[in-house]
Amino acid sequence: MSEIVWKPYGDYLEKSNITRFMHKHGIADYETLIRRSCEDTEWFWTECLKDLQIRWQRPYDKLLDASAGFPWAKWFLGGKLNIVDHCLDRQVELGHGAKTAFIWEGDCGAVKTLSYGELQEQVGKLAAALKALGVGEGDRVGLYLPMIPEMVVSFFACLKLGAIVIPIFSGFGPGPLAVRLKNAEAKVLITADGSLRRGKEVAIKQSADLALKDVPSVKHVVVAKRLFKEIPWQEGRDLWFDELLKAGHPPVPTAQLDAEARCMIIYTSGTTGLPKGTVHTHAGCLAQMTKEVGYYFDTKPEDVFFWVTDIGWMMGPWEMIGTTALGATFVIFEGAPDYPQPDRLWDVVERHGVTIFGISPTAIRLLMKSDESWVKKHDLSKLRILGSTGEPWDPQSYRWFFDKVGGGRCPIINISGGTEIVGCLLAPLPITPLKPSTLRGPGLGMDVDVFDEDGKSVRGEVGYLVCKKPAPSMT
């Protein structure tokens, strides 16, 4: 497809975050920006993190040491940083404690919000309780939770301590759960008494109990109350989430961590064998995710950001870290896109004033099967940017998303990357004309190319996508 479906205009050109960056460095156009960011990645990452105001607990002495080879590159040498210090502590210190950090939309339609101050407080209480259970820097904690508020609190509480999060899809059964927990040698598992999916109860605690028969490393199971039902209970091991928050343990400071301290192990799907654990760092995740949410999706503090995802997919942590790093509000959604009616997502977007909305092409193909009147009945005028990832678009689905949901006025920022870099290799920007279903080109600071079988750069033919320089978020 060669036609241009969207051209940047107005605020996209004049007031976007990436326009600010370009003006600061005297860069006139997109092509120059991409070329310079890929040719001089050290310049780009240095200036990018300054522009995004990433807060260091201790400034780094040297940006990059690749002397041991590309795969073993070390970033931000001598620097100290904790995701929680930047994303939560900093926001509260800046006076944004009363601002909404996230909105939870339950499967049943229940809604709950937490401000930055409330989130910081709950994160602190859970972190103190986990520390009292013996959790410290480098310990692995599994998160086997539905998309509920306790998931967000648990995620940041682990990072605050310097513990390593293992986010796991709540739809997994005992087998896949056990494989991941055993491989990571998890010390604690945080789960729930159950979850809701299409109005039906899902017994995830029972799945956790079965999985843990094969995971001797797990000493404690913290259980959030979602269904408020009686469940199997192992005294001495199982603990209620809400009781830990009320326990009154002494406050703990946000850990000062080396920039490359590990923060997450995200497992691949396992479609080509056993799932592989990709290891990620505090500085790597914060740098990559803030860059992408800030520049590709132009997120500002006043935005409400909603990506239809799960904690077990990299887009879950990506959304939480990227939005809070910028002081924005994010939405987590427990339910199914078409339950109880085909307009569920459009209702969520309208009621919560969503301005940036991301989804997979498969979900759009599902929603397209319903009459477009389900979309038309909702006011989606606050939307300004759409997003997609996970698979290629087909032309019909892309145009439906662009025309019916975005009203032909919002760019679709279609991104492609992977779990191994918790980010994008290919991505457009909101200052560039867009062709349907395409990825535009290299992401900022991502020096990628297409090679043939002989290792030669090619254009206009199928080849291998090759990353030629390291990036901070490489596993």
Domains of the chain by residue range: 11-89+296-448
One-letter amino acid identity for 87? Answer: C
Residue 271 has pLDDT above 90, yes or no: no
pLDDT band at 82 (very low <50, low <70, confident <90, very high): very high
Q: Residues 167-199: pLDDT tens digits?
A: 999 999 999 999 999 999 999 999 999 999 999
Residue 142 belongs to what H/E stretch? strand 140-144
Question: What is the pLDDT of the chain when averaged over all its residues?
Answer: 97
* Distance from C-alpha of 261 to C-alpha of 283, rounded to nearest angstrom: 8
Mean local confidence (pLDDT), 244-254: 97
Q: Residues 297-343: pLDDT tens digits?
A: 999 999 999 999 999 999 999 999 999 999 999 999 999 999 999 99
Residue found by looking up tokens 């843990």 in the block? 212
State the virtual CA torsion across 28, 34, 35, 41 in degrees, nearest 10: 120
The tokens of 134 are what? 């013996």
Q: Are strands 164-168 and 140-144 parallel, antiparallel or unpaired?
A: parallel
- Helices 17-24 and 41-51, interaxial angle, to 10°? 120
Mean local confidence (pLDDT), 268-277: 84
What's the confidence (pLDDT) of residue 83? 99
Exposure of 254 in the CB half-sphere (CA atoms within 13 A): 21
Residue 256 has pLDDT above 60, yes or no: yes
Residue 444 has pLDDT above 70, yes or no: yes
What's the confidence (pLDDT) of residue 269? 82
Contacts of 302 (CB under 8 A, 6+ apart): 328, 355
- Say what the pTM is: 0.97
Mean local confidence (pLDDT), 53-61: 98
Q: Residues 375-414: pLDDT tens digits?
A: 999 999 999 999 999 999 999 999 999 999 999 999 999 9
Residue 427 has pLDDT above 60, yes or no: yes
240 to each of 106, 217, 247, how far by Cα in Å?
20, 20, 11
Q: Which of 2-6, 65-69, 327-331 has the lowest mean pLDDT?
A: 2-6
What's the confidence (pLDDT) of residue 386? 99
Q: Is the dihedral of CA 363, 365, 369, 372 positive or negative?
A: positive
pLDDT band at 208 (very low <50, low <70, confident <90, very high): very high
Residue 272 has pLDDT above 90, yes or no: no
* Distance from C-alpha of 65 to C-alpha of 74, rounded to nearest angstrom: 5
Q: Which of 242-251, 264-273, 333-342 has the lowest mean pLDDT?
A: 264-273
Q: Which of 4-13, 269-278, 313-322 has the lowest mean pLDDT?
A: 269-278
377 to each of 208, 361, 363, 401, 405, how far by Cα in Å?
41, 22, 19, 16, 11
Query: Are 57 and 80 within 8 A, CB to CB?
Result: yes
Q: Residues 343-355: pLDDT tens digits?
A: 999 999 999 999 9
Query: Are 413 and 428 within 8 A, CB to CB?
Result: yes
E strands present in 169-309: 188-192, 195-197, 200-202, 220-224, 238-240, 262-267, 277-281, 304-307
- 340 preceded by a cis bond (ω within 30 of 0): yes
Residue 1 has pLDDT above 70, yes or no: no
State the CATH class of domain 11-89+296-448. alpha beta
Instruction: Report the chain's C-alpha Rg in angstroms.
Output: 22
What's the confidence (pLDDT) of residue 2? 66
Residue 475 has pLDDT above 60, yes or no: yes
The tokens of 294 are what? 């800030």
